Amino acid sequence: MILVTGANGHLGALTLAALHARKADAAGSSRTPGEAMRLLDFDNPSSLDLAGVTTVVLVSAGYAEDDQVIRRHAAVVEAAVRDSVQHIIYTSLTGAGDHLGFALAHRATEKLVMDSGLNWTILRNGLYAELFGSLMTWDGDTLESAFGAGALAAVARADLADVAAIVAVDPERHTGRVYDLVGVPITAASVAGHLGTGHRTIGLAEYRRRLLDTPGLLPFQPPMLSSIATSVRHGFLGTTSTDLQDLLDHPARDALAIAAAAASAARPESG
């Protein structure tokens, strides 16, 4: 059986749906499980029962500081070894993102997985087109961002889920492989153009100030998001690869349209 962790999250839910669409024997897990879903709480190692699981799709539990993320992932890997799981597929971060504020936890987890003695595949996921669009803000009818003229090789979250499912249904074929899953580069200006509006660049200091003033953000999030902005702005996240399209069994989704839809959804209603 294939088990997808974090199946209540966006990527996990899409991956589980993609596996079911391929008639795979797959189940989901979560710390807050729904119907027909296993309880797996990464912060409670005693809950990590992987008996009967042959392949784990380990969706990164990155919503925390590095030490907590790495500790969570280590607990899952240890449980996989203990319960004789055959293969771990880890959803990591594109190689172009080594300098991002959240890269360390991904690279540390990759090492944990590779050193586990189990068969493994690393999916180095590019940043989501949905995220790129959602990080833009509106000033009247004009889009604003700190991305400048920089490009992001954005990828649709659903395409990454499809790749994870494709690998999970035939894991032996992908043993020991590291795939860099990025899309076609897009810019903030191209998103604005798609929406028929303009784009204004704001400075990184202003962007950080706005983040610090945003209610609900956790302490690690402003530096994380600032690292994305400066990396895009200065041309470090536009690197392309053929891995995504080589693995998909359909054409890649339109990242520009998806980013534009996310930006449009955040537009305040007039009046």
**pLDDT at position 271:** 45
How far apart (Å, rounded) are the C-alpha atoms in residues 196 and 4? 39
Name the E strands within 6-156. 26-30, 37-39, 55-59, 87-93, 119-125, 137-139, 142-145, 151-152
Phi, psi of 220 (to 5 degrees): -80, -15
Fill in the amino acid letter for 96: A
| Domain assignment present for 28 | yes
Enclosing domain of residue 68: 2-265
Query: What is the maximum alpha-carbon separation in the chain?
Result: 60
Please state the domain count of the chain: 1
Those residues with Cβ within 8 angstroms of residue 216's Cβ, 6 or more apart along the chain or in another chain = none
Per-residue pLDDT reduced to its tens digit, 2-56: 999 999 999 999 999 999 999 999 999 998 887 778 999 999 989 999 999 999 9
The 3-state DSSP class for residue 198 equals: strand
- Using alpha carbons, list the distances in angstroms from residue 175 to 55, 85, 117, 255: 12, 14, 12, 28
How far apart (Å, rounded) are the C-alpha atoms in residues 62 and 80? 19
For residue 70, what is the domain's CATH number? 3.40.50.720
Name the E strands within the chain. 2-4, 26-30, 37-39, 55-59, 87-93, 119-125, 137-139, 142-145, 151-152, 177-181, 186-187, 198-201
Q: Which residue is associated with the tokens 């319960």?
A: 83
| Domain assignment present for 270 | no
**pLDDT at position 270:** 58
Question: 38 and 29 in contact (C-beta within 8 Å)?
Answer: yes
| Domain assignment present for 96 | yes
The pLDDT profile of the chain, 271 residues, written as one tens digit per residue, is: 999 999 999 999 999 999 999 999 999 999 888 777 899 999 998 999 999 999 999 999 988 899 999 999 999 999 999 999 999 999 999 999 999 999 999 999 999 999 999 999 999 999 999 999 999 999 999 999 999 999 999 999 999 999 999 999 999 999 999 999 999 999 999 999 999 999 999 999 999 999 999 999 999 999 999 999 999 999 999 999 999 999 999 999 999 999 999 999 999 875 4
| Domain assignment present for 209 | yes
**pLDDT at position 34:** 76
| Domain assignment present for 271 | no
Question: 175 and 248 in contact (C-beta within 8 Å)?
Answer: no
| Domain assignment present for 187 | yes
How far apart (Å, rounded) are the C-alpha atoms in residues 14 and 265? 20
| Domain assignment present for 98 | yes
| Domain assignment present for 239 | yes
Question: 92 and 124 in contact (C-beta within 8 Å)?
Answer: yes
